């Protein structure tokens, strides 16, 4: 199955959807204006992956910020993941948030209440990583 790899921009997150390595990550910030153009292919990819998932999937959201338009599409992704779980796939959501950003944690908790998925919450520092 085709791998999705999208590099982050100033307005869109990086994305990796790779069944072969079991990497599913959306990371960065999402303030895209054309949310359907950005998110529709991701949702379609998840729909087509439905019969190809054969092990536990940890789906990572590590978003520093997203606008209201993006939040709706992120919720669509979570609903699609919930559908995959209902069909017998082992799906787990890992929601990263900054220790300094209670709002992002609360949004993740709200999403967790809306979908039937296990959520794991991981806090991290906002300080840049040293190389």
Q: What is the pTM of this model?
A: 0.91
> How far apart, in Å, do the first and last CA atoms of the chain sit?
33
91's tokens? 């799906």
**Domains parsed from the chain with CATH numbers:** 4-124 (3.30.750)
- Cα separation values, 56 from 21, 106, 130, Å: 12, 25, 31
pLDDT tens over the chain, length 131 residues: 799 999 999 999 999 999 989 899 999 999 999 999 999 999 999 999 888 888 889 999 999 999 999 999 999 999 999 999 998 899 999 999 998 888 999 999 999 999 989 999 999 875 555 44
User: What is the chain's Cα-based Rg?
Assistant: 14
Specify the 3-state DSSP secondary structure of 107. Answer: helix
Residue 127 DSSP code: S
Dist. CA 17–CA 46, nearest whole Å:
9
86's tokens? 């209902």
């Amino acid at each position: 199955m085709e791998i999705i790899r999208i590099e982050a921009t100033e307005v869109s997150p990086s994305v990796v959807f790779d069944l072969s390595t079991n990497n599913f990550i959306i990371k960065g910030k999402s303030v895209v204006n054309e949310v359907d153009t950005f998110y529709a292919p991701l949702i379609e990819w998840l729909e087509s992956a439905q019969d190809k998932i054969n092990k536990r999937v940890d789906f990572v959201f590590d978003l520093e910020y997203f606008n209201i338009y993006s939040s709706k599409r992120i919720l669509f992704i979570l609903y699609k993941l919930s559908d995959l779980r209902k069909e017998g796939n082992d799906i787990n959501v890992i929601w990263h948030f900054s220790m300094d950003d209670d709002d992002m944690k609360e949004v993740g908790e709200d999403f967790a209440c809306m979908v039937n998925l296990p959520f794991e919450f991981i806090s991290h520092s906002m300080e840049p990583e040293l190389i």
